[in-house]
């Protein structure tokens, strides 16, 4: 279909993608991905779907059977829970243990991959930050946090301290990284930013009205780069604190924008 034949908004022949999360109103993917589908001449939209956590599994099973859904993006809190719904798990997603994008292939099977960590690494590198040899502190080891940790190790980070309110989750991620990236010193750690070049909030804490810091961090060294994976509010409580300490900051747009081209290519069947 050529661009000239695209409907004003949507029609009966529109192919659908959805981003599945809870909450959902904050996500940027519907606007960005839909604009990109359209710019490439495709009659396709990405719509937001606000799925109750208690309903997740039966909802995904049903959505996969709807014939005009061609792919899904996955956001908080479902990235790890989506893994069992993917038939072919690509290597980065397997290493992370979570997916944030999946597509229906020509044979009807679903391929999934994880782009969050690579997206963040791409954006930080493009902004001139050197990740090879860096020492990172990561707060939160869920889907997004695991993706960021694996991508940092993949980019040559010297060490990653992993903090999670669930210390077993942090320890399990540390072991997984040690197995795949023996040169990166990944350890479950207290949330102490001393000596870290990079501190990353990969928890959802900060999104909800009234949220404060993900953990008390005290004063940050102004040489520290502070990164949040949350898109809204701008700035997040963590980045407001970091800016007040004189740190450079990168908000959730870094992770989000760094992966858009790659996710579009993935949905098109490449990668």
Task: Give the residue numbers annotated as catalytic, written as ranges.
Answer: 79
* Of residues 35 and 265, the one with the C-beta less far from a second copy: 35
Per CB under 8 A, 51 contacts a second copy? yes
Q: Rounded CA gap, 240 and 131, in Å? A: 23
DSSP the chain: --GGG--SS--TT-EEEEEEESS-TT--HHHHHHHHHHHTT--EEEEEEE--GGGHHHHHHHHHH-TTEEEEEE-TT-TTTTGGG-SEE-HHHHHHT--SEEEE-TTS-EEEE--HHHHHHHHHHHTT---TT-EEEEE--SHHHHHHHHHHHHTT-SEEEEE-SSHHHHHHHHHHHHHH-TTSEEEE--S--TT-SEEEE-SSTTSSTT---SS---SPPTT-EEEE---SSSS-HHHHHHHHTT-EEE-HHHHHHTTHHHHHHHHTT--
- Can you tell me which of 1, 35, 39, 126 binds a second copy, judged by CB under 8 A? 35
Kindly indicate which of the ranges 30-38, 111-119, 122-130, 141-149 contains the residues binding a second copy, using the contact rule CB under 8 A.
30-38
Per CB under 8 A, 31 contacts a second copy? yes
Per CB under 8 A, 252 contacts a second copy? no
Per CB under 8 A, 12 contacts a second copy? yes
Q: How far is the CB of 15 from a second copy (least distance, A)?
A: 9
* Of residues 58 and 130, the one with the C-beta less far from a second copy: 58
* Of residues 53 and 212, the one with the C-beta less far from a second copy: 53
Q: How far is the CB of 44 from a second copy (least distance, A)?
A: 10
Binding mask 58-97 for a second copy (x = CB under 8 A): xx-xxx-xxxx-----------------------------
Q: How far is the CB of 48 from a second copy (least distance, A)?
A: 5
* Of residues 59 and 125, the one with the C-beta less far from a second copy: 59
What are the phi and psi torsion angles at 13 (to 5°)?
Answer: -95, 5
CA atoms within 13 A on the CB side of 41: 5
Per CB under 8 A, 184 contacts a second copy? no
Q: Rounded CA gap, 165 and 184, in Å? A: 22
Contact yes or no for 180/159 (Cβ under 8 A): no
Q: How far is the CB of 256 from a second copy (least distance, A)?
A: 12
Per CB under 8 A, 14 contacts a second copy? yes
* Of residues 29 and 111, the one with the C-beta less far from a second copy: 29
- Can you tell me which of 9, 107, 108, 209 binds a second copy, judged by CB under 8 A? 9
Number of residues that bind a second copy (CB under 8 A): 40
Which parts of this chain interact with a second copy (CB under 8 A)? Answer: 7-14, 16, 19, 22, 24-31, 34-35, 38, 45-52, 55, 58-59, 61-63, 65-68
């Amino acid at each position: 279909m050529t661009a000239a034949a695209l409907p004003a908004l949507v029609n009966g022949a529109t192919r659908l993608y959805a981003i599945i999360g809870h909450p959902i109103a904050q996500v940027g993917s519907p606007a960005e991905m839909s604009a990109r589908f359209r710019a490439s001449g495709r009659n396709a939209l990405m719509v937001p779907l606000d799925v109750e956590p208690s309903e997740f599994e039966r909802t995904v099973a049903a959505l996969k059977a709807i014939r005009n859904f061609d792919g899904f993006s996955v956001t908080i809190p479902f990235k790890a829970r989506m893994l069992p719904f993917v038939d072919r798990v690509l290597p980065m997603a397997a290493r992370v243990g979570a997916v944030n994008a999946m597509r229906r292939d020509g044979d009807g099977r679903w391929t999934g991959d994880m782009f969050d960590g690579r997206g963040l690494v791409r954006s930080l590198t493009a902004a001139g930050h050197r990740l090879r040899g860096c020492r990172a502190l990561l707060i939160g080891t869920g889907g997004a946090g695991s993706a960021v940790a694996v991508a940092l190790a993949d980019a040559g980070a010297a060490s990653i301290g992993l903090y999670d309110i669930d210390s077993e989750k942090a320890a399990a991620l540390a072991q997984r990284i040690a197995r795949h990236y023996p040169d990166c010193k990944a350890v479950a750690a207290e949330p102490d930013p001393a000596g870290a070049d990079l501190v990353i909030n990969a928890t959802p804490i900060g999104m909800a009205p009234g949220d404060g810091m993900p953990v008390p961090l005290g004063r940050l060294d102004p040489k520290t780069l502070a990164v949040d994976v949350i898109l809204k509010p701008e700035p997040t409580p963590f980045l407001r604190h970091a800016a007040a300490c004189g740190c450079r900051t990168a908000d959730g747009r870094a992770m989000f924008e760094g992966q858009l081209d790659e996710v579009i290519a993935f949905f098109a069947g490449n990668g």
